[in-house]
Structure 1
């Protein structure tokens, strides 16, 4: 993923304490935005699950008293969600883990970035609605 200066501005951004009690807010926001883009119910539920898994992966890496930042990039037929925390020495995710398999199966694309004092997971989901992206 590009540096902060190179990243496009998110259409929607949430900043929450880096605490697992706020994951439900992230999941609900994700579902609401996907519904606004006319995603199918099954795709919305897949995104909710994938975003929950992404949060579960980044939160243990968060520095104490830091924020969980959720950036949403919306386009017709596509929703990209990036969850990120400040992390002093983040670890690459285990790409053969069950959690990563859930992410890569439920999202159209899943990526991680564990450098520059930050740990992020970016998920992209494309709508299953015919003609939604055109």
Structure 2
């Protein structure tokens, strides 16, 4: 494994306050990971938009605490991001515009919540058809 391969393996973890004010840090980390994965500018911007939207949806029902993010490099050249934060127990509501944005900017996405945690998982492949 060469130096470039070492950069494109493993994961990056980020914990920030569950406050929209800090979402720029989530976007910045997504940009860095996408750059290291070799994404072009369009796919990098897609990932930034997707992480921003997914985090914003989670934070709508977060009573505080921390937003935990894990950015993973995938063997297929893609990036996977998982996020979670405490839940106030309310249902996770994804506005139709947000759902459309996630569908257009990611290869795969999933959002879920229970009485304790709100979670999302995003996958973005660099050359996905229609992405």
| TM-score bucket (shorter structure) | 0.7 to 0.9
Segments of 4+ moved more than 3 angstroms: none
SS class of match (2:92): coil
Cα RMSD for the two superposed structures: 1.7
Q: Which string of whole-angstrom CA distances, capped at 9 and with x for unpartnered residues, describes residues 1-39 of structure 1?
A: xxxxxxxxx721111101111100100100100100101
Task: Tell me the TM-score normalized by structure 1.
Answer: 0.81
Task: Tell me the TM-score normalized by structure 2.
Answer: 0.83
SS class of match (1:31): helix
1:92 Cα shift?
3.0
SS class of match (1:61): coil
Q: Mapping of 1:24-43 within 5 angstroms?
A: 24-43=24-43
Q: How many residues were matched structurally? A: 118
2:90, 2:12 → 1: CA distance? Answer: 25
Does the aligned pair in 2 maintain the 1:90–1:118 contact within 8 Å? no
Q: Which string of whole-angstrom CA distances, capped at 9 and with x for unpartnered residues, describes residues 56-78 of structure 1?
A: 101111123x0011111212411
Gaps of 5+ in 1: 1-9, 130-134
Gaps of 5+ in 2: 1-9
